[in-house]
Amino acid sequence: MGELTDKMKAAGNKAAGSVKEAIGDATDNERLEAEGKAQKAKGAVQDVTGTVKGALGDDI
């Protein structure tokens, strides 16, 4: 179950980060663009965490 939860959170963070980054880029808002990049990175980490949990059976 932890794998699925992490993967769902990852997808949400990646999507929200992409939107923030695109809006920041389109409006020349460097802060928003940076927040989007950071949120996408957080999603990537969550994705890896979910993959590892799945491989280890959530025992980490």
Domain boundaries, the chain: 2-56
User: How wide is the angle at C-alpha 46 spanned by C-alphas 51 and 18, nearest 5°?
Assistant: 125
In the structure encoding, which two tokens stand for residue 29, read together?
Answer: 């808002």
pLDDT exceeds 80 at position 11:
yes
Q: How many CB atoms lie within 10 A of CB 60?
A: 9
Q: State residue 58's pLDDT score.
A: 52
Buried/exposed 22-38: b ≥16 CB within 10 Å, e otherwise: eebeeeeeeebbebbee
Q: State residue 36's pLDDT score.
A: 98
pLDDT exceeds 90 at position 44:
yes
pLDDT exceeds 60 at position 41:
yes
Average pLDDT value for the chain:
91
CA 47/CA 44 separation, integer angstroms = 5
pLDDT exceeds 90 at position 1:
no
The pTM score is 0.82
